[in-house]
Structure 1
Amino acid sequence: MQLDTSTIAIIQLAWSRRLGLDDDALAAAEDDERIYDVQDEASEVSFVRLFGREVFSGPSWAAKQVRYKSAAELSSDAALLRLSLDHGGRGTATEHLYYSDSFPQLPAAGELAVAEDPQFAEALERLCPPDDVLEAKLARREALFVLVNDADPEAPEPLAGAGYSIKDGILADMGALTAPGHRMRGLGSYVSALAVEDAMAAGLIPQWRAPFNNMGASRTAAGAGFVPAGLRTSVALPA
């Protein structure tokens, strides 16, 4: 599965704006070209690779160190941390970027109900490990879908949820969460597909950001029809 060229152009526009570049910066760049956004007052050092284009952002001292480093080297948060240690670099993060521009095929989900009330997302979060909750940010999403087993009306059980927040007026930034006892059953992919369908109906392009070491998030993204497009890695700098 591949993304439409018009979809790619819109994603490039959104990221150009997010990175503070000209609107056509990524679209006009050559394949494997690296753009340097040098700001000595930057609050972080970051590297984005998207559809074969690269953007390195950070202070001039960082830009000088990476001029001859490959994309593979800069794709590691450890590499960015090493070059910024003497400048107080901390808080590394690397995430893979996925996108979708086709309506997903929704498999049957049995008799499960779909709820949009944040209270069900909050109940689901209480069942999950804190790191998963922090990553998904489910209860704070602007649009929300939670699969609920309501066989017992007095105690409905949240099983999995997904939702999105609107970024740059263009992208639907996705998040998903599945209760530990109900994982590996396809529920995360199913409810994520519901969120994707809703986002696309609203004229948005669904975006999935999966931490590099979270195979579950990557599997859920693939199951919901997302296509890998690149990555972003970053290290925070002291104010």
Structure 2
Amino acid sequence: MTLAPGSAEIVQLAWDRRLGFDDGAFVGAAGRRLTLANDAARSLQFVRLFGSSALVGPQWALDAADGYTDEELAQHVTLLTITRGHGGHGLGAAALFFADDLPLQQPSEELTVSHGNPEAIELEGLCPPDDVNEVGLADLEHRFTIMHLEDGRRTPVACGAYTEWEGILAQLGVLVAPAWRRRGVGTLAASIAAHEALASGLTLQWRSDVSNKGSLALARRLGFTAGGIQTSVLLG
């Protein structure tokens, strides 16, 4: 699917506010790179959205990045190089996808969906720590956990969740129990969360590590449109 006219500007407005710029900064950048110095920042962030870009961090990092192109700054190794003398580490590069509408996924059978926190926590206990950390269900306040009934006991198999960014975007995440992967429940859980967010008037955002092929494929399968990249390193 494609974004409706104006949706890209809505996304950019949310990121203006998220990064600390004035409203309309991304739209008005017109091909030049935005920069914002914050000497108290604990990270260096490069964000590219629909052809416009921004770099936020301490002034020394902005100065060091001045000779690099946007394509170079989108590479995690470039930010690590710039910040090597200041303890730069971690975070990496994440692809950003967006949607203002998605096809509705229909379940093949009747399902129970829980809105409770204990079910989401139980699901995290079934999954590898790396997956749990990347999805970050604890930071996504609206959770929709699909439960499977077997032998009279309900077990969580997948959770789609979102949290609001700046009252504009719904940052989505999906976690699926290993035994239930490649069976469509992740797509269904994501669809449930996405349509709840759309019903609340939010534009959808999907953020995925560039090396996570499963998450990237799921975003495309759901109907999201690629819109940019966020590359970050922690400092000190």
TM range (shorter): over 0.9
1:57: how far off? 1.5
Among 182, 195, 198, the residue aligned to 2:196? 198
The Cα offsets for residues 58-96 of structure 1, whole Å up to 9 and x where unpaired, read as: 223222222231222111111101111112222232111
Give percent identity, aligned residues only. Answer: 39
TM superposition score normalised by structure 1: 0.93
Please provide the CA RMSD for this pair.
1.6
Equivalent residue for 2:80? 81
CA contact (8 A) 1:190 1:224 kept: no
AA of the residue aligned to 1:20: G
TM superposition score normalised by structure 2: 0.94
- Runs of 4+ in structure 1 deviating by more than 3 angstroms, as ranges, are none
Partners of 1:140 and 1:36 in 2: CA distance: 27
The Cα offsets for residues 12-57 of structure 1, whole Å up to 9 and x where unpaired, read as: 1110011111101001121x32112123333221110011101011
AA of the residue aligned to 1:116: H
Partners of 2:101 and 2:131 in 1: CA distance: 27
AA of the residue aligned to 2:136: K
AA of the residue aligned to 1:87: H
1:195: how far off? 0.6
Partners of 2:210 and 2:93 in 1: CA distance: 6
Question: Unmatched 5+ residue regions in structure 1?
Answer: none
Equivalent residue for 1:33? 32
1:139: how far off? 4.6
Among 202, 208, 215, the residue aligned to 2:206? 208
1:140: how far off? 4.5
| Residue pairs, 1:1-239, within 5 angstroms | 1-30=1-30, 32-153=31-152, 155-238=153-236
Question: Unmatched 5+ residue regions in structure 2?
Answer: none
CA contact (8 A) 1:50 1:230 kept: yes
Count residues in correspondence.
236
Partners of 1:219 and 1:111 in 2: CA distance: 26
Partners of 2:143 and 2:42 in 1: CA distance: 31
